[in-house]
Amino acid sequence: MRYSKLFGKTLREFPKDEVSLNAKLLLRAGFIDKLMAGSYTLLPLGFRVEQKIEDIIREEINSTGANELLMPLLHPKEIWNKTGRWESAKEIMYQLEKDEKEFGLSFTHEEIVTDLIIKHNPSPKEFPIKVYHFSTKFRHEARPKSGILRGREFLMKDLYSAHLSEEDMYKYYWEVADSYIKIFKRMGLDVKIVEASGGVFTKNYTHEFQVLCEQGEDTIFYCDSCDFAQNKEIFSGKSGEECPKCKKGKIIEAKSIEVGNIFPLGTMYAQKMGYKEKLWLASYGIGPTRVMGTIAEIYNDDKGLIWPSSVAPYQVHLISIDNEEKTISREADKIYERLVAERIEVLYDDRDSSPGEKFKDADLIGIPVRLVVSAKTGNKIEWKLRSKDKTELLDFEEIVKRLK
Cα gap 221→210, rounded to integer Å: 11
State the nearest-atom distance from the C-beta of 248 to RNA, in Å.
Answer: 30
Binding flag, residue 69, RNA (CB under 7 A): no
Cα gap 251→246, rounded to integer Å: 11
- Compute, in degrees rounded to 10, the torsion defined by CA atoms 123, 129, 133, 137: 100
Beta-carbon contacts of residue 51 (< 8 Å; ≥ 6 apart) = none
Cis peptide before 144 (omega within 30 of 0): no
Cα gap 156→138, rounded to integer Å: 10
User: For RNA, what does the binding mask look like between residues 215 and 244, x meaning CB under 7 A?
Assistant: --xx--------------------------
Binding flag, residue 38, RNA (CB under 7 A): yes
Size of the site for RNA (CB under 7 A): 69
Q: Alpha helix (H) ranges present in 249-287? A: 268-272
Cα gap 17→162, rounded to integer Å: 45
Residue of the chain from 1, 2, 8, 18 that contacts RNA (CB under 7 A): 18
Residue of the chain from 42, 45, 105, 149 that contacts RNA (CB under 7 A): 149
Cα gap 211→255, rounded to integer Å: 9
CA 158 vs. chain centroid, Å, equals: 12
Residue range at the interface with RNA (CB under 7 A); choices 63-71, 113-121, 197-205, 246-254: 197-205
What are the backbone angles phi and psi of residue 262, rounded to the nearest 5°?
A: -135, 140
Binding flag, residue 331, RNA (CB under 7 A): no
Residue of the chain from 1, 71, 73, 92 that contacts RNA (CB under 7 A): 92
- Residue 374: Cβ-neighbour burial (10 angstroms; 0-12, 13-18, 19+): middle
Residue range at the interface with RNA (CB under 7 A); choices 61-69, 138-146, 271-279, 395-403: 138-146
Residue of the chain from 5, 7, 16, 123 that contacts RNA (CB under 7 A): 16
Residue range at the interface with RNA (CB under 7 A); choices 66-74, 77-85, 95-103, 136-144: 136-144
Q: How many residues does the chain have?
A: 404
Cα gap 281→114, rounded to integer Å: 8
Residue of the chain from 84, 199, 237, 274 that contacts RNA (CB under 7 A): 199
Near RNA in 298-317, by CB under 7 A = 303
Torsion sign across C-alpha atoms 388, 393, 398, 400: positive
Binding flag, residue 352, RNA (CB under 7 A): yes
Binding flag, residue 91, RNA (CB under 7 A): yes
Binding flag, residue 269, RNA (CB under 7 A): no
Binding flag, residue 287, RNA (CB under 7 A): yes
Q: What are the residues binding RNA (CB under 7 A)?
A: 9-20, 34, 36-38, 91-92, 139, 141-147, 149-151, 154, 156, 199-201, 208, 217-218, 258, 261, 285, 287, 289-290, 303, 321-324, 326, 352-357, 359-364, 372, 374-377, 382, 384, 391
